[in-house]
Amino acid sequence: LFSKSKPASTCLFPARWVCQFYYFYSSSPSISMLLFIRPVKQIWRRARFLHSLANMAKFFLALFCVVALAVFGFANGYEKKGEIGIFELKRGDFSVKFTNWGATIVSLLVPDKHGKLDDVVLGYDSIQEYQNDTAYFGSIVGRVANRIGGAKFTLDGVLYKLIANEGNNTLHGGTRGFSDVVWKVTKYQKDGSSPQIVFSYRSFDGEEGFPGDLLVTATYTLIANNQLKLTMHAKALNKPTPVNLAQHTYWNLGGHNSGDILSNHLQIFGSRITVVDHNLIPTGKLEPVKGTPFDFLKPRMVGSRINKLPKGYDINYALDDGTREHKLKKAAVVHDKKSGRMLELSTNVPGVQLYTGNYIKDVKGKGGFVYQAHAALCLETQGFPDAVNHHNFPSTIVTPKKPYKHIMLFKFSTK
């Protein structure tokens, strides 16, 4: 009965005790039993003492680790909620908070023309509400943003059938798109010269019907005062697959609780739209916007012609000079004259979806404020919707040798 992890000198039953037991047992069983019981008790006490010391050491080590992690986490703005957390990036008065549920922007504080800070994105007070959200507040959507007609496509001669979650079509990646998963935080620097957080997610082959394993990262960086940069990468690990990521934040530059955005002035640097049918599925045609309700070539109020549309805006604009994949170009500018806040959005992708929150109704948001239709607008830079079914649209196919890169630059100012 020797311990395998210790040398013989520290064995539980020393050799002399074994010999004594054998000698006295042969002459007097009663004496031998007395001699045996005493060392056994000593051994038991010693073992319990050593075991207690080991447990105490393990306890204090675990306690130290927990305290250290808590101190580090709170110092860096991390609020742990199971495996889902809240993270903040801060540069001066400019503050952005995120959750790794959907790599979501949950708040963005920026000053108005008088220096007053307001949160200019719609959202909720708790992570659970984001998990129950159906409006994609602040999240990254994918694997393919927007709609895929008929929830199917053909790639390299193979027909792929997807999960339909909007009638017969697939919207924003399906029932469990990238907005409804936990992303891993791979880097986090709360403040300093370049506050940054990096989220990553690995999508498996067959997820929501899409082919191939896909590794996705979303990097948010405060690159200057009142400037937020988002860089999204995707790498196909083994098969070609469509990828079209979009950031789905709802913006209200007057403040999330300031009412509708119909008086905001909007300019979009796209002279054509991708025409859609009654289900908002692209027909494959592009038409000029000049002189139509979709014309925002020059700044005009969002609500100036919105009543000429059934519910509001939900359309993709083909950005002018949209073929410059490796250079940033202006996509849109929004100005709220009352607060003076302006948002200028630039990107490297060919399209931007304008959505005016048409289907928001009685949504209880931050601080108990109830959001209604047109409470905000979304500017989702993207590849063209349903591009996988329209060969005349810019390709959204990613291969192991052709990765995906999507940049969004948000510049906030006052005027």
- Positions at the binding site for beta-D-galactose: 146-147, 248-250, 314
Q: Active-site positions?
A: 248, 380
Whole-angstrom Cα Rg for the chain? 30
For the annotated binding site, the residues are 146-147, 248-250, 314
The backbone torsions φ and ψ at residue 190, rounded to the nearest 5 degrees and listed phi first, read -65, -45
Peptide bond into 143 cis (omega under 30): yes
Strand partners, 381: 352
C-alpha separations of 243 from 54, 137, 170 in Å:
52, 20, 14
CB 226 within 8 A of CB 411: yes
In angstroms, the CA 247 to CA 60 distance is: 44
In angstroms, the CA 374 to CA 209 distance is: 33
In angstroms, the CA 371 to CA 360 distance is: 7
Name 233's Cβ contacts closer than 8 Å, sequence gap at least 6: 216, 217, 219, 403, 404, 405, 406
The backbone torsions φ and ψ at residue 279, rounded to the nearest 5 degrees and listed phi first, read -100, 10
Interstrand relation of 227-236 and 378-382 (parallel, antiparallel or unpaired): unpaired
